[in-house]
Structure 1
């Protein structure tokens, strides 16, 4: 199981010489399927464009680096996929509501399987003082059906 906080900033390397291709700066996800589709990568040149590394191109993933099997594994971003941290329809900071309208919390992180990208749950916050008092809340997606409702996610 992975979280965005664990993979952000991790280098992408290729080959036995560990040639660094870039670092993970964001995640891309497909909301209708409820899964992470890949890592948003920035390479070492400041003028370069960011690239998408699909999860299928990852050969090995440790806490220190992500090993890929090809020199150029990057793809163009699918227009239907959104990003977790940046972008118009980002997931970070989005509110999560119950089907009756009650607010559950605001998304802080996402838990997913590294091989398939299936989203297992969301880490939610209710604010600093509530987090100190009650602790951080984790909503597992297996218990609920999650629907995208514009500016928020709704649990059914």
Structure 2
């Protein structure tokens, strides 16, 4: 399981040792899956590449390895696709339950590396609240409903947000 915040800035290499770029964002489809990584390519004109999650052969602590170089393409915004910081940004968007309870603001996502399925959403209530109460992680198996102003999450489990809670991330137990 990975989070976007752990991938951001990580270098991506081909199997022959060529640096393709650094992760700068993720693309999230309407079905609630991470479909692609966005790479910032070094150069005079910094361009962004879209790299499908399915083309990644391994995630390491210091870099990501790609098997198939032919699978990347130039990044363009796509209708019905979201990112954390580019295009239709989800970062800091209000997260709500279907019952109208505000959960917080989206800060990060937890996803399964191989298939890109998002299994958790890290939420914040702001800097001071994060320090005193901690961030919350909402675990969900259903894709969210993403609207113009809010993300509707069917929360099945919540971790964190309590002073005594030492586990600010998802449990590795579950149906995934």
What's the TM-score, normalizing by structure 2?
Answer: 0.79
**Is the CA contact (8 Å cut-off) linking 2:14 and 2:65 kept in structure 1?**
yes
- 5 Å-filtered alignment, 1:135-154, equals 135-142=134-141, 146-154=144-152
**Is the CA contact (8 Å cut-off) linking 2:59 and 2:65 kept in structure 1?**
yes
3-state SS in 2 of match to 1:45: coil
2:48 and 2:143 mapped to 1: Cα distance?
A: 32
Determine the structure 2 residue equivalent to 1:3.
3
| Structure number with higher relative contact order (C-alpha < 8 Å, ≥ 6 residues apart) | 1
Determine the structure 2 residue equivalent to 1:84.
84
Decide whether aligned partners of structure 1 residues 54 and 78 sit closer, same or farther in structure 2, where only a CA change above 3 A counts.
Answer: farther
Structure 1 unaligned regions, length at least 5: none
Alignment coverage as a number of residue pairs: 152
1:46 and 1:70 mapped to 2: Cα distance?
A: 25
Structure 2 unaligned regions, length at least 5: 155-176
Q: Residues 27-80 of structure 1, C-alpha deviation per residue, up to 9 Å, x if partnerless?
A: 00102x110001001112131421100011111111211111134431245723
Structure (1/2) with the larger strand percentage = 1
- Between 36-45 and 73-82, report the one with greater CA deviation: 73-82
What's the TM-score, normalizing by structure 1?
Answer: 0.88
**Is the CA contact (8 Å cut-off) linking 1:29 and 1:37 kept in structure 2?**
yes
**Is the CA contact (8 Å cut-off) linking 1:54 and 1:75 kept in structure 2?**
no
1:39 to 4, 13, 37: 37
